[in-house]
Amino acid sequence: MSGSPRPDGSGTYTGAVRAGHASGKVVRCALADLRVVESSVSVLFYFDRALDEAPLREGLARALAHVPAFAGRLRRRDDALEIVCDDSGATMTTADSGLDLAQAVAEAAVAETDLVERMDPSAAWSGGDPLLKVRLTRLSDGGTALGCTWHHAVGDIRSLMTLMRAWSASVEGSTPPEALVVEDREGYLDDVLPPTGSRQPGYRLLPPADVEQQWAAAYRALQESRNLQIYFSHAEVSRLRRRLSDAAGRELSLTNVLHAHLIDVLRRFHDEPHPDQLLMPVDVRHRLGLPSGVVGNLTGDMFVPCPPDRAPEAVAADIRAALDDFVGSHLNLRALHDFLVEHRTRMKECLQVGLELLPRQKYAVVNSWTGAGLYDISFGTHRPVCVSQSSLPFPWMVLVTEGFDRTGYLCTVGVAADVAERLASEDGRAALHRFREPGDVLPDLAGAVANLL
């Protein structure tokens, strides 16, 4: 890694990290990857100790050799998108911050936080910019924030965690996980996808007159949305699970009931109209018997009706039933492929239904990273004490991860500013935590993070 101090003398260094050799692979992206070509994702890993920078840099270089797509560059060839694994490298920045650990965790809800490096997906798409940017921030109390931003065309959260586990193994001197970088994503999917599934592609073709209005509405929503962080202890979610499972007459999972509870509370504190559909991204790897280390965007969109008068136990039961029959009735990757083939020359007029804001917002996007292994890494024996996504872009977006020290659940919720005020009120907190009891013990860090609900 090379770099030099910035002119302002801040002690911040940025440089390239490379494996030292190119794999020679050229990954032909799937058509479905084009839907995220203008997107990047940022995740923050927090440690209550200082991390040794030199082993981290060296370990990242070895990890990039193991998962070379993250060190490559995007290339457009004809009407296809490719990832050239040429070892152009990632970037790694080290910086100091006056924030302590609790303040840094609160920063994850801030859209323009300095704890992650910003990426221009369009610049990466044109082939010039790195597909991975890492920022290591030394906090004022000796803790560390490790921010990772990657271009979404490379892969989903499980793809990032394959890289993170390889990075961890390189630093710890253990065996890295299996990583499978397939060179023909379309062909790979075609071989494993069943003929059955949903015929709902999750996109629709907009009339030309509506395109500008929809994107203007999306821009306004970006400007007006705020992010809230909410922590639920395992004890309170267990009580919620018992209550809703009894009411539904079937056993529900902790995340089933938490998703339903969050949607129920959001509805109470939002002005009407409310979304009447849930859009839930679902990882397809284990459902299709694929290795967990396949790099790419291997998620399908699951749609669950959620009318305003539907009780939370019924919503949770509907989510459970849909997941149980996901491959047979909800897997929509073939339908998405067929849609994109038909309309590939009009991609700018194709809108993902979760972003459809006019004439009203019909969908709440509900996602869970609880099975992605966010805490399954360590650097110098130090494990993360918190992991969170850096901000959500739109209202009615929900992300659930494991909570502090892998206890309970940390939820990031995108809401309008007025709704954020209502949820932060005494009534809002009471509604969110109606299953919390006075004797529940919360992690120390949860009590220290400002504005955590």
Q: What is the pLDDT along the chain (453 residues), one digit of tens a residue?
A: 433 334 344 567 788 999 999 998 999 999 888 878 888 999 999 999 999 999 999 999 999 999 999 999 999 887 789 999 999 999 999 999 999 999 999 998 887 889 999 898 888 877 679 999 999 999 999 999 999 999 999 999 999 999 999 999 999 999 999 999 999 999 999 999 998 888 888 888 888 888 888 888 878 887 788 999 999 999 999 999 999 999 999 999 999 999 999 999 999 999 888 999 999 999 999 999 999 999 999 999 999 999 989 999 999 999 999 999 999 999 999 999 899 889 888 888 888 887 778 888 899 999 999 999 999 999 999 999 999 998 777 789 999 999 999 999 999 999 988 999 999 999 999 999 999 999 999 999 999 999 999
Pairing state between β 225-232 and 409-416:
antiparallel
Tell me how far the alpha carbon of residue 192 is from its chain's centroid. Answer: 24
* Other CB atoms within 10 Å distance of the CB of residue 11: 11
235: tokens are 């004890």
* Residues ≥6 apart with Cβ < 8 Å to 367: 280, 281, 397, 398, 399, 400
372: tokens are 């992605």
Q: How far apart are CA 226 and CA 222, in angstroms?
A: 9
* Residues ≥6 apart with Cβ < 8 Å to 223: none
Q: What is the DSSP letter of 383?
A: P
Domains 13-189 and 199-448 share a fold: yes
DSSP codes, 107-172: HTT-TT-TTS----HHHHHTT-S-SEEEEEEE-TTS-EEEEEEEETTT--HHHHHHHHHHHHHHHH
* Residues 285, 351 contacting (CB under 8 angstroms): no
For tokens 């967990």, the residue is 292
> What Å distances lie between residue 252 and 239, 243, 317, CA to CA?
12, 10, 7
Specify whether domain 199-448 bears CATH 3.30.559.10.
yes
Q: Which of 141, 148, 229, 236 is nearest to 449 (CA)?
A: 229
For the domain made up of 13-189, give the CATH fold: Chloramphenicol Acetyltransferase (3.30.559)
* Residues 302, 330 contacting (CB under 8 angstroms): yes
pTM (2 decimals)?
0.94
* Residues 324, 348 contacting (CB under 8 angstroms): no
| Residue-wise burial string across 241-273, b where 16 or more C-beta atoms lie within 10 A, e elsewhere | bebbbeebeeebbbbbbbbbbbbbbbbebbeee
* Residues 230, 250 contacting (CB under 8 angstroms): no
Domain boundaries, the chain: 13-189, 199-448
Backbone phi and psi for residue 39, each to the nearest 5 degrees, phi listed first: -125, 145
From the number of C-beta atoms within 10 Å of its C-beta (0-12, 13-18, 19+), residue 426 rates as exposed
* Residues 146, 51 contacting (CB under 8 angstroms): yes
